[in-house]
Amino acid sequence: MKSKAAGLPLGYRLAVTSRCLAALVGGYLLAAMASVCMGLLLPMPKAEAVITGMMLSFLFYLVAILWSFACRTAAQAWLGILLPSAVLALINGLAYWMNTP
- Contact positions vs other proteins (CB under 8 A): 1-3, 5, 16, 19, 31-33, 35-36, 38-40, 44-55, 57-58, 61-62, 65-66, 69-70, 72, 92, 96
The Cα 74–Cα 100 span in angstroms is 38
Helix 27-41 vs helix 46-70: crossing angle, to nearest 10: 150
The Cα 67–Cα 89 span in angstroms is 20
Least Cβ distance, residue 33 to other proteins (angstroms): 8
Handedness of CA 84, 46, 56, 35 (dihedral sign): positive
Whichever of 66 and 83 has its CB closer to other proteins, that residue is 66
Least Cβ distance, residue 43 to other proteins (angstroms): 12
Whichever of 21 and 50 has its CB closer to other proteins, that residue is 50
